[in-house]
Amino acid sequence: MADKKIIWSTRASKELRHILEYFNQRNESTRYSLKLLNDIENLTRSLSKNESIGRLTSNKFTRVIPMKIYLIFYEINLGNIEIVSFWDNRQDKNTENTNYGY
């Protein structure tokens, strides 16, 4: 089976960018952000080879993979894997209005 293409939604990209910017400013260094990006790359490489590694959420078409203090929500669309949200578990879940059912 061929590896599936990973696509980041605008929302997920924005969420990740905010997290990276926060840590760059807080730590006055990109060290943690680069490590986080490396971890994400390794996880998405595995995901592209096996789309079912995440567990189904309550809406039955979105899957989630825990990664340390983060959750990566994704959906399989037209043969691609779309990352729909990159969630920091330390956030207040009421700060964003989500329609994903997770």
The pLDDT tens digits for 74-83 are 999 888 999 9
* Calpha distance 6→35 (Å, rounded): 19
- pLDDT for 99: 42
93 within domain boundaries: no
95 within domain boundaries: no
36 within domain boundaries: yes
* Calpha distance 62→54 (Å, rounded): 9
Owning domain of residue 10? 6-88
45 within domain boundaries: yes
The pLDDT tens digits for 61-98 are 999 999 989 999 999 988 899 999 999 988 665 555 44
pTM of the complete model: 0.85
Dihedral angle sign, alpha carbons of residues 98, 99, 100, 102 = positive
97 within domain boundaries: no
83 within domain boundaries: yes
- What's the domain count of the chain? 1
The pLDDT tens digits for 16-52 are 999 999 999 999 999 999 999 999 999 999 999 999 9
Specify the CATH number for the domain of residue 51. 3.30.2310.20
